Amino acid sequence: MGAALDPFPSVLAFDVFGTVVDWYGSIEREVAAHGLGIDAGAFALAWRAGYEPAMARVRNGELGWTKIDALHRMILDELVERFGVGHRLDETARRALNLAWHRLDPWPDAIEGLRRLRKRFMLCTLSNGNLGLLADMAKRAGLPWDLILSAEVFRHYKPDPEAYLGVCDVFDIAPAQMMLVAAHHDDLAAARACGCRTAHVVRPREFGPTIARDVDPRPGNDLHATDLLDLARQLGC
């Protein structure tokens, strides 16, 4: 039986990094493949840790609009020096490694869960990743989106309200008809503040095997799911 939601959402908008795809495992693998002799997991975590500060530089006006590919590259150039391997990665190697974010593997439940949800709902991305990145990722992994949307479309990174409300504008729906699906409580809280529905998906290993994640239900969310298959079940798909 589907969840009792009033009004029932018509569009499910998905956070991607961590919610649909395993960025940590994928980046760790790609870094290790370069044979740099460093802790690939620590490098992956440090790369991700630079993500929020880099977006903050865009929000506060220090940088003009800058897409995630470019921000990832700025972080990478700093990290290779910090890890002492800058001399081992030329421009070609750095460009190739930066594109690792285009090749993130989906969680094991993701594709089947999305396919089931797509039978009943319109599915789109709502990611801070740029459009080219998201398209490459979807093509490689077979992610069955109806539409790829990005902060790049709205020129506002989440959790700015313009990102969530921008999805509603694209589909010409009220905020209550859009449900954000995400593994991150801050993302979900920002969507709720805009009047959107929210579904929390548990990803306890998003940051690898040693870093604990807050996977407890929050009362403000409409749904709490163990994975995308569980979310499909709860939504009657």
* Nearest one of 119, 75, 93 to 36, comparing CA atoms: 93
Q: How far apart (Å, rounded) are the C-alpha atoms in residues 151 and 166?
A: 9
Tokens standing for residue 137: 């990722």
Half-sphere exposure for 185 (CA within 13 Å, toward CB): 9
Render pLDDT for 140-179 as a digit per residue (tens, 0 to 9).
Answer: 999 999 999 999 999 999 999 999 999 999 999 999 999 9
Q: How confident is the model at residue 135 (pLDDT cuts 50, 70, 90)?
A: very high
Domains along the sequence of the chain with CATH: 11-20+107-234 (3.40.50.1000), 24-102 (1.10.150.240)
Tokens standing for residue 133: 């990145």
List the beta strands (DSSP E) in 40-133.
105-106, 122-125
pTM (2 d.p.) = 0.95
Render pLDDT for 28-61 as a digit per residue (tens, 0 to 9).
Answer: 999 999 999 999 999 999 999 999 999 999 999 9
Pair type for strands 105-106 and 21-22: antiparallel
| Range with lowest mean pLDDT among 6-10, 67-71, 79-83, 101-105 | 6-10
